[in-house]
Amino acid sequence: MRNNITIRTKEKNYLIQIKINSIKNKLKKIIKNEDKVFIIIDKKVDHLIKDLSDKKNLFIIRFVGSEKIKNYIFFQKITEKLLSKGIDRKSCIISIGGGTIGDISGFIASTVLRGVKFILIPTTLLSQVDSSIGGKNGINSMYGKNLIGTFYQPNLVIIDPYVLMTLPIKELKSGYAEIIKHALIYDSSFFKWLESNYNKIFNLNFKTLEKAINKSILIKSKFVQEDTKEKLINNDSRAILNFGHTFGHALETFYQYKKKLTHGEAIAIGMMIASKISYKFNYLSKNDLIKINNHFKKVGLPTSDKNMYNTAIFSLIKKDKKNIGNNINLVLLKKIGKAKFSRNLNIKKIKKIIY
């Protein structure tokens, strides 16, 4: 198994290092070699930096990660704090936390002083298999999730499955939903492997977890490298990674990010809706549809929500930055392991067939 994965993009090539129990040593080395280091960390993983507080060139900003911090207020608060502590262009920002801390930190790293060095240390399964890969960052607007942000590749990503020891099972499942997504869009044998190994992942068998993380990153990085800025060129486009996210994001916005659903739960429902549409369009076989549904049920991810076909959900989808007028773009499945980007689908027709 490759423990180091190189991501090659037009802007930057960088390394993703996956290793159990590696964070403390790596952090020490980075702080020793860098000029000034600014750590933005989730309080829930504060133990990871316990021995570092005496370092003179280190400044630490602590938050509890949640969707609520991905906004203008925190963006301003953190940026001003960095400036007040003398951040300069040779400084390095390190984000240690889940996808929310990573997303806002990445946005700040790309904008403060027009961009400084950025290292990501993801501490949730979701951020290890998804949000830390590919250089997307951002904050939310009242009009929807992630509407403000940049593409900014990090200089390094350090992934340590051992940090997941403290992660609640609900959050572990949230990350697992993105792993299933990667299998569904690209790799049917990976999906089969997950069907027989998901239990070991939830029991934190680190070897199995490492393999699932590794495989997932390789799939995501394939799409990212083909199309770093999501130009929707073809079926290898980065947009394929949005499978399940059209309805998933709408549900999250509908609930105002109030923790009713985790990101993974929302996209699990979104993936089920997209799979049903794929079946109704005669792309996906009934057998595959049942397999997908059964797997979600077995692992305890939701496949429906009482509000998923609410009119407000369709209005939110129409507002999505990727859609124009009454026509929407959707990622559908041809079969387990193969996705298809469908443009300009009429929202009224979609509504009719899924009711």
- Token code pair at residue 267: 């996209």
Nearest to 256 by CA among 323, 304, 312, 300: 312
Q: Which of 41, 49, 94, 136 binds ligand NAD (CB under 6 A)?
A: 136
Q: Does residue 67 bind ligand NAD (CB under 6 A)?
A: yes
User: Considering only 65-73, 80-88, 287-295, 323-331, which stretch makes contact with ligand NAD by CB under 6 A?
Assistant: 65-73
Q: Does residue 97 bind ligand NAD (CB under 6 A)?
A: yes
Task: Count Cβ atoms within 10 A of the Cβ of residue 136 and give its class: 0-12 exposed, 13-18 middle, 19 or more buried.
Answer: buried
The sign of the torsion formed by the CA atoms of 95, 253, 263, 236 equals negative
- Whole-angstrom distance between the N-terminal and C-terminal Cα of the chain? 44
Q: Does residue 153 bind ligand NAD (CB under 6 A)?
A: no
Q: Which of 61, 101, 209, 333 binds ligand NAD (CB under 6 A)?
A: 101
- Pick 64 or 324: Cβ nearer ligand NAD: 64
- Pick 63 or 190: Cβ nearer ligand NAD: 63
Site string for ligand NAD, 266-285 (x = CB under 6 A): --------------------
Nearest to 291 by CA among 188, 213, 169, 179: 188
Backbone angle region of 7, left / alpha / beta, with phi > 0 → left and psi within -120 to 50 → alpha: beta
Q: Which of 21, 25, 57, 166 binds ligand NAD (CB under 6 A)?
A: 166
Cβ atoms of 125 and 299 within 8 Å: the answer is no
Can you give the binding site for ligand NAD, defined by CB under 6 A? 42, 44-45, 64-67, 70, 97-101, 103, 123-124, 126-127, 130-131, 134, 136-137, 145-146, 163, 166-167, 171, 174, 263
